[in-house]
Amino acid sequence: MRDARDALRLYKLLADKALSRVTEVPAAHKTLFRPTQASVIYYQTLYLDQVDSGHPPRKRPGNATCQYCVSFHLGNLKTIDKMSDIIFSKHLEQCFQEFIEDQLNISGAVVTCQRADQQDLHMPDFKIVRRRDRKVLIYFEFKVIFRPFLKIAERVHPSFECYSNSLTLDLSNGNKLQEQRDRVEHLLGVANTIYIYWYDLPCIKGVFWMPASRVYEIMDIQQRTAYDRRHVAGDFNTFGRKNAATKKLYLPLLEMSDLPSLLEFVLQRSQQG
């Protein structure tokens, strides 16, 4: 049974690692990497009480946390700097890579978490490998989201909420997602690949994941009418070429599983032949 306190306890271990490793986060909200008692309540009410219900997400609470979030994020628009974003993301990827390997080994799965994209950038970011026979247990693409899309209901879909559908995947900027999908479907196996999100908003905080099969179903639906956000200066390089993705998929938090279930899922795989 899913438990908010257990999930946030695990998440705090990851967040503490980030606090010790990352010195500056662009446009960071005040509780980034700092889960509180309120985080447990939001995890329960906005996620656990609704997950897999099949119903549209509840409207955001509109309370003091929401008011702060709207005021802060609309008043501190993040400047897009592709290179600094890449460097920042690498630090967080290393944090998660170490964290997930440590937690899996504590649970009894003797594994390593390795980069999977060093020879081919269209591959998923990581793979978890069983030590005794070097079998790949799972591949995963890793994303970090610390800002909600506050106007998502207005601009993308009226049933979407900022807390529940701000988990994005880039559609534009080349065909990276389609290229990755081709490799997953024809080489790695859809059942062997997942998409993981490190998600830290003023309300919801945690690690959430979705099987590749469901991601690609959503991709087939959303890409036909994908919302293309307004282009800004940081979307273009010094030569005027667009190098940022402005069309995205918006995945539903309420169809995702959480961090404790991720550890259990990989542990089970590690115990199979």
Mean pLDDT of 192-217: 98
- Per-residue pLDDT of 139-150, as tens digits, reads 999 999 999 999
Of 128, 134, 95, 124, which is closest to residue 267 (Cα–Cα)?
A: 128
Separation between Cα atoms, residue 153 and residue 60, nearest integer Å: 11
Residues 256/207, Cβ–Cβ less than 8 Å:
no
228 vs 164, residue with greater confidence: 164
Of 54, 89, 56, which is closest to residue 163 (Cα–Cα)?
A: 56
Residue 227 is predicted with a pLDDT of: 80
Mean pLDDT of 225-237: 59
Residues 250/170, Cβ–Cβ less than 8 Å:
no
Residue 273 is predicted with a pLDDT of: 78
Mean pLDDT of 147-156: 95
Residue 241 is predicted with a pLDDT of: 53
Residue 267 has pLDDT above 60, yes or no: yes
237 pLDDT band (50/70/90 cuts)?
Answer: very low
Of 176, 183, 98, 188, which is closest to residue 139 (Cα–Cα)?
A: 188
Separation between Cα atoms, residue 101 and residue 117, nearest integer Å: 17
Mean pLDDT of 63-92: 82
Residue 176 is predicted with a pLDDT of: 87
Q: How far apart are the first and last CA of the chain?
A: 26
Mean pLDDT of 198-223: 97
Separation between Cα atoms, residue 225 and residue 216, nearest integer Å: 15
Residue 239 is predicted with a pLDDT of: 46
Residue 23 has pLDDT above 80, yes or no: no
83 vs 116, residue with greater confidence: 116
Residue 77 has pLDDT above 90, yes or no: no
Residue 236 has pLDDT above 60, yes or no: no
Give 220: exposed, middle or buried? Use CB within 10 Å, 0-12, 13-18, 19+.
exposed
Residue 68 has pLDDT above 50, yes or no: yes
Strand-pair category, 193-200 with 205-211: antiparallel
Mean pLDDT of 6-28: 92
Residue 86 is predicted with a pLDDT of: 73
pTM score: 0.92
Listed by start position, the domains of the chain span: 4-270
Specify the residue for token string 């908010």.
4
Residue 238 is predicted with a pLDDT of: 52
Specify the residue for token string 């909200």.
29
Mean pLDDT of 79-84: 61
Strand-pair category, 248-251 with 193-200: unpaired
Distances (CA, A) of 46 to 147, 205, 262: 16, 11, 19
